[in-house]
Amino acid sequence: MTAVEPLSVRPPQTAAEILARAQALAPVLRDRAEEIERARRLPADVVDLLRGTGVFRMGFSRAHGGPELTSIEQTEVIEALAYGDAGAGWCAMIGSDTGLYASFLDHAVAEEMFPSLDMATAGLLFPNGHAEIVPGGYRLTGRWQFGSGVTHADWVVSGAFLYRDGEPEHDSILLMVPKADVEVLDTWHTTGLAGSGSCDYAITDVFVPAAHTLTFAEVRGGSGPLAQPEVHMRNMPGVALGVTRAALDHATDTAVAAGREDDYRTQTTIADCEGDFAAAREGVYGALRRQHEVLSAGGTLDDLTPRERAALPLSRRHAFRTARSIVSRLYDLVQTSAIYRPSPLDRWLRDTTTMCQHIVAQDRILQTAGAHLLGGRPAFPLALGITSSRR
């Protein structure tokens, strides 16, 4: 049914191989999309299929035995999977952060925590939890939202404020906990992205060794373009771009099948949407290419010009907003046939609406980029790779 080889047979080793497996899996995900949405999480066998593509291992460095895909290559893989199903693409994007987090852990610790490179991570990075400082580590308690992929994750990473003897330290940290110590709360009843299983989750008085914590301000086990504070946000636009490409192909095929090749409204709408998609996609990949040029030459994010640095979060936001705009216009173009479930346009309309509620698609990103361009104070500095754990 799928060209993806079982992971136990031959794990993929290169970017080209991982991308080819993702592209081969996309039609299978499309066929399973209704089922995934109804389940409000990825079925176990779909998770296994994702593992088989190598998507969860693609962020691991060569020092860890991984394929070390560039952020550009990672985004292409996520785009290919989201072309099949948005929920699967979203979970793949989140789960692939495992290897990226490894750079912020001691090398030996990461090897112990991730004996397989195909382990998935989930969790919310915002400091919603309470981490009490104790000998050797922390006692973690809290409840977090938006645990995309938490239903199948191996590790859960969560942000928490630090406390000592019950008093706040006015600082925060990220703590990694095995999935077995996490309670998943079935809260994910949403407009779209239902298949991502982004449930709330709770952790209650779990001891977390200090070695299993990290901050993006400290790289402990890596170097190079992927060992950077905002690395986990770079491949996010792949979801929006993949869904948009799928919608455009569907609307085009539908128009041709209906004999509307010479209809003026159809022609102009498809062309207008294709133009917006091409511009949004090039904005994402252009910003990623320039960043990679600087970082792979040994530079840092500070070596980017203010415009180049702002282009990264702005291109992400633009990709998400453009996805929603294009899908909405195609929905109107197809008219009444789009309203009947399981029309993929109905699902994509809801998926893109939901993904645009993520912080990377919000006006806070505009303020952050605008403040950086003007020399002001960004509201969300991590989007620019500026690390700060202060309140």
pLDDT of residue 5: 52
User: Shortest CA distance to 330 belongs to which of 259, 243, 236?
Assistant: 243
Mean pLDDT for the chain? 95
What is the band of 337 on the pLDDT scale with cuts at 50, 70, 90? confident
Q: Identify whether the C-beta of residue 242 lies closer than 8 Å to the C-beta of residue 320.
A: no
pLDDT of residue 143: 98
User: Shortest CA distance to 214 belongs to which of 177, 178, 176, 174?
Assistant: 174
DSSP β-bridge partners for residue 139: 132, 207
Going from the C-alpha of 228 to that of each of 30, 36, 142, 184, the distances in angstroms are 34, 33, 27, 30
pLDDT of residue 259: 96
Q: Structure tokens of 297?
A: 């030459």
Q: How many helices (H) and strands (E) does the chain have?
A: 11, 8
Q: Identify whether the C-beta of residue 92 lies closer than 8 Å to the C-beta of residue 42.
A: no
Is the four-CA dihedral 5, 9, 11, 14 of positive or negative sign? negative
pLDDT of residue 389: 37
pLDDT of residue 248: 98
Q: Identify whether the C-beta of residue 75 lies closer than 8 Å to the C-beta of residue 284.
A: yes
User: Shortest CA distance to 387 belongs to which of 213, 210, 214?
Assistant: 214
pLDDT of residue 10: 80
291-333 pLDDT, tens per residue? 999 999 999 999 999 999 999 999 999 999 999 999 999 999 9
Q: Structure tokens of 243?
A: 């869904």
What is the band of 338 on the pLDDT scale with cuts at 50, 70, 90? confident
pLDDT of residue 319: 98
- Mean pLDDT across the stretch 234-251? 98
d(CA 295, CA 292): 5
d(CA 159, CA 201): 13
pLDDT of residue 387: 77
Q: Please give the residue that has the higher pLDDT: either 1 or 168.
A: 168
275-300 pLDDT, tens per residue? 999 999 999 999 999 999 999 999 99
- The model's pTM is 0.95
- Mean pLDDT across the stretch 219-232? 93
Q: Please give the residue that has the higher pLDDT: either 223 or 160.
A: 160
Q: Is the pLDDT of residue 180 over 50?
A: yes
Residues 6+ apart with CB under 8 A from 15: 58, 67, 69, 70, 73, 77
d(CA 64, CA 107): 8
